[in-house]
Every structure is written in C-alpha cells, then in structure tokens.
C-alpha cells in the first residue's frame, strides 16, 4: 500500500489528518504492524532543541539620510558581517561582543530582537560619492527592519558524539563542563525525536521541505554544512522569518570557557506515504548509537571511549570501564517534545501542509578534514634539545649549580629510571638557600605536579598548557617519559619573524 502526498494534504485541509510525534510512532508500529501504521498515521512530527552554534541571521536595515554604505556593522557591540551591499549584514550566533566578551554574543542579539528589545546598530564606512555618510548609530526594533531572515548553515544534527574527559583537569567545552577522570559524560540531540534520525536516507527532508524553526514556519534550504549523512551525522541548512519567532524556542546561551551559542528549536513534519517511512519513523532511542569521545586529547581525531545508544545516555548513568558515570544532556528533551507537539498542532489545524523536497540532498556524502598546505609547528622544532636535569636524590646545592651552569631557570627532576618526577626552579633553590638548607634533597623542594609536553605536540597545544597553568616552561618527554628537552616561553619567540609565517 502507498499513500499519496495529495491524500495527506487533503486530510490536512479537511481536518481528518492523523498526526503523531516521532516519540509515539514506535509503539503504534508495534501495535498495528507496519501496514496498519501506514494506514493509521499520515504525518509524524519531529523536534529538537539544542545548541546550534552555526546559526545566524541576515538583516536589511533600510537606508539612512544621507545614505551610508555600511562597511562595518555592530549590533549591541557584536560585529556582524557587512561585506554585502550597503545596508545588509549577517550576524553569526557565535560572534562575541567586543565589550562584554562571550557573556553576550550574536545569539543574544538574535534573542533580544525576537524578544522585542531595542538593539543598538553602529556602522562605519569610508564614504563614497553615492554613499557620503561615514558613521551611524541608532536603536532598532525587529519590526522596523526590512528583513530579518534567520539562515542557519548547520542545524539539527542527526545525532552527535557524546563527550567525556579522561584527563586530570576540568575541561570547559561546547559540550559543557567535563569533569576529570571520566567524571561525567555530556551528550546532545533528541534521539527518537531527531528530525534526520527519522529520515536517515534523506528522502523526505531536503530543499524546500517545510519546517518549524524557532516558532516560525520555515523551510529547509538544503544540505547543512559539514553534513555527513553516509556516516549517520546529517545536518540541514534552515531558514525562517525572525518576525514569526518566539523566544520560547530560540534562546541565547554562553558556554563557560567557550563562548556564545544559540539554542534553536527545529521540527520537521514527515509525511507517511510508504512502508519505508513507517520503518524509518519507528526508530527508538535504543536504535540510535553514538560514540563517547575523549575531549582531553587536544586533537581533531579524538579517541572513542565507548559506543552507546541514546537510550543509555538518557538513562542518566552509563557504565564506563566498570564505573558508573553520570550523564548530562546539553539539549532539552522537554523542549524537543514541545516543538514536536506544537508542530503536530500546526498540521492538525491546517497551518502547515507537507511537501516533498524540491531537490533531494546527497545522502552518500561524508564530511572531510581541511587540507593543510602549511605545516603547523611542532614542539620538536623549537624546543631546547639540550636540557640539563637533576636527580631527585641530589642536593639543593647541586641543583643550584646545574641551574647556573645551564643558564636556565627550570630543571626537570628525574628518578632512578630517568623518568621525570618533578621540576625545580631557580626560585625553589634560592628559597632553600635563603632558609639555609643547601644540603636538603631536591625531592624535598621540587614541585611534584609537573606539566610536560612531547616532541610531536603542536606548539599551539603546548602554549595553551603554559597559559592554563600560568607557568613558563615545560619539560619535553619522549613516549617512555624520559626527558629529551625543554620548551620555555622564550622558545615560542622563535616562531616570530623566522620561517614560520603567522
């Protein structure tokens, strides 16, 4: 049996359409069977509500008198992209305020506009014959703009990798606070309700598909940036009129230590025309697997700690290596349900009809990494390869001598197996000598918490370590923990003016 889209839209128009949410669908299919569900259900509504950093909006402010060609534009001190003609600009949700940092960003400007608040526009220009004006400052309401069109390049990930931290320091990421020693797991996505998880073949969600976007009747532009449907990580590009949006479904956020982001509510109605759609929308949290990734590895290819299902993640606790670890969601399931329910109401009352994509997206696509034509400098290339060390059972006096001889301020301390077990600085030895303890052992005065790097580590990562710990040198150790050199703040200076162009 098949059901045509026209039949479904006729039922929407005459009010007899049967709409269920993607959360209700699996049980209906279990109860009625696939054929029965196809007969019974006309539309399945989906929903998700989570942080979607790759979002933003186009504005047209209207012309001023005398006119200005806005070459740079700030909205509440958040810079918007103005490399467009005259009075157009695009604000990105993740842009930070120039005066308030990540406390306030493009996402907050979008929320303030939708909330009906005044937003200050500042623009500047070099001035031309046709656009003589050089600056303008004015306060604007959303309704006063000619256009405010949200266009989100990457929304509604089919599913997303969960995050944990095997390191020994707390991490502040766009996946939230990750406690050290696998202290927690953070995940995102609405699983059973996720729009693309209910159409993994991208058969019904493509260019022109109507959708719910932050409370507005929007539509799918086409494939989202970085989409990887062949790997189960599809995304869509979405658009909608900001004037129809509601802050109930569009919220600015700030992730501590990361920056601003926008919580976006997206829902797509899926017309149930055939058995394939019935099967796809019968998906449950138990059927959707994702990987838990270790964010303590500062690399693109972070190791997977475990494969899990959304059902496990949403249970609140998962087992990781015999330990029970608590999970946190970054996206709101309560809100995702609200989106799916609201959309259900729209279809039932005929506010929105269903449509097939005007053009389908390529479901075979996979996102790749960037091609890097310029090498990133590694620690090996700028470190000091002749780093004197001292053994932990030597005296303070010996350490002071070694520091002087090496003309250095830091000495890695090694044990009998030549493993780095600490670090001693000129401050430590001076202090011991002032206290008249020249014969004390290095092990008594050394810092045991030693932060190290390795020769293959990217210099950026090593520099982050120096900054984070407020220190000025890192012992460089090989894969066996043996010292092979020292990287100091002074070495970082080698990156400037030499063969490395920044």
Active site (catalytic) residues:
130
Tokens of residue 85, six digits: 């003609």
Which of 48, 97, 235, 329 is the binder for other proteins (CB under 8 A)?
Answer: 329
Min. distance of Cβ 179 from other proteins in angstroms?
A: 6
The residue within the footprint of other proteins, chosen from 76, 235, 239, 254 (CB under 8 A), is 254
**Binding status of residue 328 toward other proteins by CB under 8 A:** yes
CB nearer other proteins, residue 67 or residue 183: 183
Q: Is residue 131 at the binding interface for other proteins, with CB under 8 A as the rule?
A: no
User: Is 48 or 454 the residue whose CB approaches other proteins more closely?
Assistant: 48
Question: Closest separation between CB of residue 330 and other proteins, Å?
Answer: 5
Listed residue (412, 486, 470) closest to 442, CA to CA: 412
In angstroms, the CA 478 to CA 456 distance is 9
Is the distance from CB of 137 to CB of 122 less than 8 angstroms?
yes
- Choose between 37 and 343: whose C-beta lies nearer to other proteins: 343
Q: How many CB atoms lie within 10 A of CB 220?
A: 27
Q: Minimum distance from CB of 145 to other proteins (Å)?
A: 26
Q: Residue 333: how many CB atoms within 10 A of its CB?
A: 21
Residues 26-55 that bind other proteins (CB under 8 A): 49-51
| CB 326, min distance to other proteins, A | 4
Closer to other proteins by CB, 16 or 315: give it.
Answer: 315
Contact mark string toward other proteins, 178..217, x via CB under 8 A = -x---xxxx-------------------------------
Contact 333, 341 (CB under 8 A): no
Please select the residue that binds other proteins; options are 1, 85, 130, 334, rule is CB under 8 A.
334
CA distances from 169 to 90, 177, 324, 451 (A): 37, 11, 19, 11
Residue 5 tokens read as: 């889209």
Question: Does 333 engage in binding with other proteins (CB under 8 A)?
Answer: yes
- DSSP letters spanning 98-118: TTTEEEEEHHHHHHHHHTT--
Q: How many CB atoms lie within 10 A of CB 154?
A: 18
The end-to-end CA distance of the chain, in Å, is: 63
Can you say how many angstroms the Cα of residue 225 is from the centroid of all Cα atoms in its chain? 13
| Helical (H) or strand (E) element with 475 | strand 473-477
Using the minimum distance from each CB to other proteins, give the nearer residue, 256 or 299: 256
- The CA-atom distances, in angstroms, between 356 and each of 107, 273, 359, 391 are 31, 10, 8, 72
Binding segment toward other proteins, per CB under 8 A, in 232-240, 319-327, 372-380, 463-471: 319-327
Of positions 46, 97, 239, 331, contacts other proteins by CB under 8 A = 331
Number of residues binding to other proteins, judged by CB under 8 A: 31
- Closer by beta carbon to other proteins, 182 or else 347: 182
In degrees, rounded to 5, the angle at the alpha carbon of residue 245 between the alpha carbons of residues 243 and 246 is 130
What does the block give as tokens for 479?
């894969």
* Closer CB to other proteins, 26 or 485, in the complex: 26
Question: Which positions from 388 through 447 interact with other proteins, judged by CB under 8 A?
Answer: none
Residues forming a β-bridge with 105: 96
Q: Which of 58, 255, 310, 346 touches other proteins by CB under 8 A?
A: 255
Is position 261 an interface residue for other proteins (rule: CB under 8 A)?
yes
Query: Taking the complex as a whole, how short is the minimal distance between the CB of residue 327 and other proteins, in angstroms?
Result: 6
Angstrom distance (rounded) from CA 245 to CA 42:
27
The one segment of 14-22, 62-70, 324-332, 395-403 that binds other proteins by CB under 8 A = 324-332
The answer to whether the beta carbons of residues 413 and 443 sit under 8 Å apart is: yes
Indicate the residue among 133 and 251 with the shorter CB distance to other proteins. Answer: 251
From residue 463 to residue 502, the character string flagging contacts with other proteins as x (rule: CB under 8 A) and all else as - is ----------------------------------------
Contacts of other proteins in 151-180 (CB under 8 A): 172, 176-177, 179
What tokens were used for 129?
Answer: 């014959």
Q: Please pick, from the candidates 62, 316, 385, 493, the single residue that binds other proteins as defined by CB under 8 A.
A: 316
Give the contacts of 73 (CB within 8 A, at least 6 positions apart).
79, 80, 81, 82, 89, 121, 122, 123
Q: Is 97 in the site for other proteins (CB under 8 A)?
A: no
Please state, in angstroms and as integers, the Cα–Cα distance from residue 328 to each residue in 103, 187, 317, 322, following that order.
Answer: 22, 6, 9, 19
Closer to other proteins by Cβ: residue 314 or 465:
314
Beta partners for 474?
Answer: 487
* Site residues (vs other proteins, CB under 8 A): 49-51, 172, 176-177, 179, 183-186, 251, 253-256, 261, 263, 316, 325-335, 337
């Amino acid at each position: 049996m098949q059901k045509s889209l026209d039949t479904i839209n006729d039922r929407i128009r005459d009010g007899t359409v049967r709409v269920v949410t993607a959360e209700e669908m699996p049980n209906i299919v279990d109860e009625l069977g696939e054929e029965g569900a196809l007969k019974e259900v006309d539309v399945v509504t989906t929903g998700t509500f989570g942080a979607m950093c790759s979002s933003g909006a186009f504005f047209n402010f209207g012309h001023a008198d005398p006119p200005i060609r806005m070459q740079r534009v700030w909205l509440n001190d958040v810079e918007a992209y103005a490399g467009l003609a005259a009075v157009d600009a695009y604000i990105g949700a993740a842009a930070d305020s120039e005066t308030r940092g990540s406390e306030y960003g493009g996402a907050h400007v979008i929320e303030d506009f939708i909330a009906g608040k005044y937003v200050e526009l500042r623009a500047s220009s070099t001035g031309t014959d046709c656009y003589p004006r050089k600056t303008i400052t004015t306060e604007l309401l959303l309704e006063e703009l000619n256009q405010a069109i949200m266009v989100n390049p990457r929304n509604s990930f089919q599913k997303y990798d969960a995050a944990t931290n095997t390191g020994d320091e707390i991490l502040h990421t766009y996946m939230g606070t990750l406690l050290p020693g696998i202290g927690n797991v953070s995940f995102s996505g609405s699983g059973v309700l996720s729009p693309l998880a209910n159409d993994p073949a991208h058969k019904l969600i493509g260019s022109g598909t109507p959708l719910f976007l932050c409370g507005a009747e929007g539509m799918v532009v086409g494939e989202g940036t970085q989409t990887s449907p062949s790997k189960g990580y599809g995304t869509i590009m979405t658009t909608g009129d900001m004037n129809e949006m509601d802050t109930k479904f569009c919220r600015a956020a700030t992730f501590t230590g990361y920056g601003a982001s926008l919580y976006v509510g997206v829902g797509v109605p899926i017309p149930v025309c055939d058995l394939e759609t019935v099967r796809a929308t019968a998906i449950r949290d138990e059927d959707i697997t994702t990987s838990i990734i270790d964010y303590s590895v500062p690399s693109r290819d972070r190791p997977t700690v475990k494969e899990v299902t959304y059902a496990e993640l949403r249970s609140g606790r998962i087992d990781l290596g015999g330990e029970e670890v608590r999970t946190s969601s970054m996206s709101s399931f309560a809100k995702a349900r609200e989106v799916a329910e609201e959309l259900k109401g729209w279809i039932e009352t005929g506010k929105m009809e269903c449509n097939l994509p005007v053009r389908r997206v390529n479901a075979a696509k996979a996102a790749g990494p960037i091609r890097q034509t310029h090498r990133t400098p590694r620690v090996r290339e700028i470190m000091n390869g002749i780093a004197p060390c001292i053994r932990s059972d030597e005296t303070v006096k010996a350490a002071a001598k070694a520091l002087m001889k090496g003309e250095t301020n830091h000495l890695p301390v090694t044990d009998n197996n030549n493993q780095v077990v600490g670090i001693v600085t000129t401050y430590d030895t001076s202090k011991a000598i002032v206290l008249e303890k020249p014969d004390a052992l290095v092990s008594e005065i050394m810092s045991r918490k030693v932060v190290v790097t390795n020769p293959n580590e990217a210099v950026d990562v090593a520099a982050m370590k120096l900054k984070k710990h407020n220190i000025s040198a890192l012992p460089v150790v090989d894969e066996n923990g043996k010292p092979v050199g020292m990287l100091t703040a002074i070495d970082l200076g080698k990156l400037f003016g030499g063969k490395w162009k920044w």
